[in-house]
Structure 1
Amino acid sequence: MEFSVRVPRRRLGADGPEVPLLALGSWNTWDRMEREAAAELVRLAVDGGADMFDVAHYDFGPHAENAVTDVLFGQAVRDAGLAREDYLLCGKLWLWEYPALSFAEQIKVSLGRIGTDRADTVVVGDFMERPDLRAVVADVSELVRAGRFASWGVNNWSAGDVLFARRFAAAEGLVPPSFAQLKYSLARRSVPEGAPYRRLFEDGLGLQASDVLEGGILAGRLDPQRKIGQDPGGIRDRIRAAFPQVQQVAERFGATPAQVAIAYCLTHPAVANVLVGVSRKAQLEDDLAALDLLARHGDELPEAAAGLWLDEGVVDPAASWGTDAP
């Protein structure tokens, strides 16, 4: 499989790096592939310009899974003969055991498991209890200064907490979060399209869309056999029931449901890229075709998919984790 056109790039926030519109995630992906297939997939993605990989050490809090998907990713990169400068690495820092387990120790272990000494950016993970955000910003900024990564974002924080972190960083001469990684899909729009985050996006914050396929449900795999993300608002059964509508939209544009789901998220003006889980070449090829759908019909997709917004009035746009609306 060869790609005649490289994946376009957008800037991940006003102060962030230029990234490909499509990035590959690591949760339950690399550990579902044979070694040779993983190396081939990494090589194909990089050659096609989808050269950003979101890779985490999943062994914290609710993700205490002792997973080795990050180790396998590092192995795939080496097997593919890639140099570190050939790809962008987005790491994770978890708040579940912070500050008892420092960010400095987390990044040392995480990067060591992959087999590198630096990431390009990191995402500071979500939380159930609000940490000392001043300490978070200061500790992350110190790692930027130490050269461990060049920028950072947050995962499923409330817009208010992101605003606080950005203002505190500006006041103290520290490095602010430049993007937010949020659940965003055809069905889940309340937080990324809501007014609180909209104001942040207008101020230069970037958006990275995660869970865009709802663990495969929006691609037609209605009963995933693997662990998938949280279900804010308890709407997952409604998403399954709405899949025939997704198919109808896809048929209208001569596309697949997965392509519609990915292209829709890329119509958001703040979205720099979407994260997808890919474990087969055919999936990568299908996902990349979403970029052609975006180019041809991007201006039509929001209206065509208007009836698929399922967390409207259910999820509070101002809350973290997409919690239920009051």
Structure 2
Amino acid sequence: MTTSTAIPEVKLTDGHDVPILGFGTWQMTGDVAYHAVLDALKAGYRHLDTATAYDNEAQVGRALRDSGLAREDVFITTKLPPGRAGEERATLSASLRELGVDYVDLWLVHWPPDGQPAPGTWAEFIALRDEGLTRSIGVSNYSTGHLDQLVDATGVAPAVNQIKWSPLLHDPARLAELRDRGVAVEGYSPFRAGDLDASELVEIAERHGITPAQVVLRWHIQHEIVVIPKSQDPDRLRSNLDVFGFSLTDDEMSRIDGLAR
């Protein structure tokens, strides 16, 4: 079983580090969320991704407490729903209460409010970061143009843009645009947004004696893209974490890149 100390970290431009592999909790609520997160922490995950809209922050916080791990050993992300623009402080305060923590490691604008970059919301994010209620701030589902508007308005670039990413969605140009701006890429839906039955993935998996899902996660990692798979199945979440004992060759990486549509 992979231990948390084996998980590499990505350095953000604000000086903080984020584990490159995390545990997603979208569509998990109630006891299902609690047990899945607790299993994930026991397996060695040290990066949890939740959101106000997921309605599971309390369960994530309870699992963290019951895990026996120190707060500072687990990286926690949550997100502001776009409909809460203008209620940034109240929303983050509610998230901290639900999670049972004094700060989160990363707070994201979940979607552009009304399809706009919302520099006023971003200014509030900067202020709350400066107060120590979140260590890093970022966005999710933002275009490059949206990011540039935030920087033009505030002088501060998001540390992270969390976007849907998979071999089918691989876009080297967009990746370069974000990295040129100092924005780390965090990919969600690595399996749902892809095709685990693709012949290239199946062949590469068979060659390494692993699963296509592990190939996809390793591909993200070798591209230095933070990835947050999710699973309620204890065996599968452990398998998703067990991706640091092998490497993909340059040829295999290129073949997987070539799946992009």
| Residues 297-320 of structure 1: CA deviation (Å, up to 9, x unaligned) | 25333222244212xxxxxxxxxx
Shift of 1:165: 1.1
2:77 to 83, 90, 115: 90
Q: Does 1:254 align with 2:233?
A: no
Contact 2:48 2:77 in 1 (8 A): yes
Aligned residue for 2:98, secondary structure, equals helix
Q: Name the amino acid aligned to 1:70.
A: E
Query: What residue number does 1:305 align with?
Result: 256
Shift of 1:167: 3.1
Aligned residue for 1:297, secondary structure, equals coil
In structure 2, the CA distance between the partners of 1:38 and 1:98, relative to structure 1 (3 Å rule), is closer
Query: What residue number does 2:173 align with?
Result: 194
In structure 2, the CA distance between the partners of 1:298 and 1:71, relative to structure 1 (3 Å rule), is farther
Please give the alpha-carbon distance, in whole angstroms, between the structure 1 residues aligned to 2:136 and 2:41. Answer: 23
1:283 to 233, 236, 259: 236
| Residues 182-216 of structure 1: CA deviation (Å, up to 9, x unaligned) | 111011123xx225x5133123221111111117x
Contact 2:147 2:157 in 1 (8 A): no
Please give the alpha-carbon distance, in whole angstroms, between the structure 2 residues aligned to 1:36 and 1:154. Answer: 28
Please give the alpha-carbon distance, in whole angstroms, between the structure 1 residues aligned to 2:154 and 2:89. Answer: 19
Give 1:1-326 correspondences, 5 Å limit: 3=3, 6-11=6-11, 13-29=12-28, 31=30, 33=32, 38-45=37-44, 50-58=45-53, 68-99=55-86, 102-127=87-112, 129-131=114-116, 133-170=118-155, 175-190=156-171, 193-195=172-174, 197-214=175-192, 218-219=195-196, 243-269=198-224, 271=225, 273-293=226-246, 296-310=247-261
The percent identity for this pair of structures is: 24
TM-score (norm 2): 0.88
| Residues 111-150 of structure 1: CA deviation (Å, up to 9, x unaligned) | 2111122101111111363336321221111111221102
Please give the alpha-carbon distance, in whole angstroms, between the structure 2 residues aligned to 1:56 and 1:169. Answer: 24
| Residues 93-119 of structure 1: CA deviation (Å, up to 9, x unaligned) | 1213422xx111111112211112210
Contact 2:116 2:146 in 1 (8 A): no
Contact 1:30 1:38 in 2 (8 A): no
| Residues 163-185 of structure 1: CA deviation (Å, up to 9, x unaligned) | 22123322xxxx43112111110
In structure 2, the CA distance between the partners of 1:78 and 1:299, relative to structure 1 (3 Å rule), is same
Q: Name the amino acid aligned to 2:48.
A: F
Aligned residue for 2:18, secondary structure, equals strand
Contact 1:218 1:257 in 2 (8 A): no
Which range moved further: 146-155 or 243-252?
243-252
Contact 2:13 2:183 in 1 (8 A): yes
Please give the alpha-carbon distance, in whole angstroms, between the structure 2 residues aligned to 1:267 and 1:298. Answer: 10
Shift of 1:254: 2.7
Between structure 1 and structure 2, the one with the greater Rg is 1
Number of residues of Structure 1 aligned to a counterpart in Structure 2:
261
Aligned residue for 1:28, secondary structure, equals coil
TM-score (norm 1): 0.72
Contact 1:267 1:299 in 2 (8 A): no
Aligned residue for 2:64, secondary structure, equals helix
Aligned residue for 2:72, secondary structure, equals helix
In structure 2, the CA distance between the partners of 1:84 and 1:3, relative to structure 1 (3 Å rule), is closer
Q: Name the amino acid aligned to 2:232.
A: S
Structure number with higher helix proportion: 2
Shift of 1:260: 1.1
Alignment root-mean-square deviation, CA:
2.6
